[in-house]
């Protein structure tokens, strides 16, 4: 049983209830740019990717850099307009993160957000210095490339088998697999657990507090008593 030292979290849809606003902002951006709206399911399916990669995934037929940049800029503007009141943390997140810190875990964020956007929301919550390290898609490779996880591991001086990635998209889980680390799938974000389970996560949860209970249970178990967890 790995003794996890480092817990790495996606942001949107994992810690913060922001998926609805992301979908609506992308729909509005499409209207501004004069391109067809994609379905809600399609937009939810690209959440977690770096924004430029996400747009090109939604609109593969667009080969005009200016049109893609128009959508990117419009999305950012529309999302900020919807975020006049910041998206709330999911129930149990704040208390669980505090408990993890007290138990000695290192905490990190690996997100598809840009640095400017993450800085804004962390500042709003008074969390600018809360995490040991945060990595954003515009300063490293987009998920599911494992580069941002490698950078986090190097900063925290932790081996992959001692780290756990927690996320709500297949991009998060595949990134963890590519980095050689375990992952937890959360079913209250961008993608359903039925899809996330195909990536063979170590654990699948429907409420954030389940992660805390699972980790507490592992800490209390003796190695001889451990059995395989059901993902």
Q: Which residues are catalytic?
A: 10, 12
Q: What's the CA gap between 178 and 181, in Å, rounded?
A: 8
CB 132 within 8 A of CB 106: yes
CA dihedral 197, 202, 206, 207 (to 10 degrees): -160
What number of H helices and E strands is found in the chain? 10, 6
Provide the β-strand partners of residue 165. 8, 183
- Interacting residues of 34 by C-beta distance below 8 A, sequence separation 6+: none
Q: What's the CA gap between 188 and 18, in Å, rounded?
A: 11
């Amino acid at each position: 049983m790995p003794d996890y030292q480092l817990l790495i979290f996606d942001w949107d849809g994992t810690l913060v209830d922001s998926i609805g606003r992301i979908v609506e902002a992308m729909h509005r951006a499409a209207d501004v740019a004069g391109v067809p709206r994609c379905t809600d399911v399609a937009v939810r399916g690209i959440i977690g990717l770096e924004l430029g990669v996400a747009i090109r995934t939604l609109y593969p037929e667009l080969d005009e850099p200016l049109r893609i940049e128009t959508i990117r800029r419009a999305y950012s503007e529309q999302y900020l307009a919807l975020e006049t009141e910041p998206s709330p943390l999911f129930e149990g997140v704040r208390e669980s993160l505090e408990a993890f810190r007290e138990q000695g875990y290192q905490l990190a964020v690996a997100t598809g957000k840009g640095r400017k956007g993450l800085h804004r929301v962390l500042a709003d919550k008074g969390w600018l210095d809360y995490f040991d390290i945060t990595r954003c898609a515009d300063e490293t490779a987009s998920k599911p490339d494992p580069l941002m996880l490698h950078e986090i591991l190097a900063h925290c001086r932790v081996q992959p088998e001692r780290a756990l990635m927690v996320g709500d998209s297949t991009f998060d889980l595949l990134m963890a697999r590519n980095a050689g680390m375990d992952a937890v799938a959360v079913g209250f974000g961008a993608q359903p657990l039925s899809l996330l389970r195909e990536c063979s996560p170590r654990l699948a949860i429907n409420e954030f507090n389940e992660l805390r209970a699972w980790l507490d249970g592992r800490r209390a178990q003796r190695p001889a008593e451990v059995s395989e967890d059901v993902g």
